[in-house]
Amino acid sequence: MIHSRTKIIALISISLFLVSLAAFGGVTYLLKKHKSTLEQERIALADAEMQKKSLQDLLSIVESSGEEREKMRGYILDDERIIDLLTLIGTLSKEQGAIYSTSNLVVSPIDDTFETLAFTVSIEGSFEKIMRVLSILEALPQQSIISEVLFTKTVEKESASNEWQGTIDIQVTKYKSI
């Protein structure tokens, strides 16, 4: 027959042992988990620091290249500047003394961002004048290409007259209309 006090003491002892074991195990587990998380966070932090540095480099590139990018962007025509371009061509042609008109304005897509504005410039004047107009059109401040040129003498072909008429087909790249 075991004494009842001994039984109580044994019960308390075992309970205390189990509780302390659970507490110790729990704290050890949590500590291990936190340490592992801390290591991962430190690695992530180091990566983030590197990415921050890369971002700073990228931002400095973006900032330093802003002027060039804007200039480059300007080589492509946008909707607001179509009229300016046509006016410029007209003004330059008139300055050269050539009679000028524009026709056949057609817009065709290139891709998701750009499209082509094609039009025909008709000019009349001396050969030198229409050649100067052609040279000017070849040097437009926007990306453009002279797709077709047709220069024809207007009067009797054997004569010494220097009156010519020309049609110049131009394709100007523009941003797609929004």
Partner 1 sequence: MINLLPPKGHTSLKHEYVLRVISLYGFMLAIVFISGTILLIPTYVLVSSQLNSVRPDDDEGEATKKTFAEASLHIQNANTVMAQLRSITPNVQTSSIITDIIRLAPKGITFHTFQAKREANFLKAIDVQGFAETRNALAALKNAIESSSTFLSASVPISDLARETNLPFVMTISLNEAGSTE
Asked if 87 interacts with partner 1 (CB under 8 A), we say no
Asked if 17 interacts with partner 1 (CB under 8 A), we say yes
Amino acid sitting at position 98: A
Helix or strand (DSSP H, E) at 123 = strand 114-126
Asked if 9 interacts with partner 1 (CB under 8 A), we say yes
The candidate with the shortest Cα–Cα distance to 89, out of 114, 123, 113, 39, is 123
Asked if 107 interacts with partner 1 (CB under 8 A), we say no
CA distance 58 to 49: 14
Asked if 14 interacts with partner 1 (CB under 8 A), we say yes
Asked if 102 interacts with partner 1 (CB under 8 A), we say no
Q: How many CB atoms lie within 10 A of CB 112?
A: 7
Asked if 106 interacts with partner 1 (CB under 8 A), we say no
Contacts of 115 (CB under 8 A, 6+ apart): 107, 108, 109, 173, 174, 175, 176, 177
Closer residue to partner 1, CB minimum distance, 26 or 97: 26
Asked if 48 interacts with partner 1 (CB under 8 A), we say yes
What's the closest the beta carbon of residue 58 comes to partner 1, in angstroms? 5
What's the closest the beta carbon of residue 22 comes to partner 1, in angstroms? 9
Q: Binding partner 1 by CB under 8 A: which of 88, 92, 118, 149?
A: 149
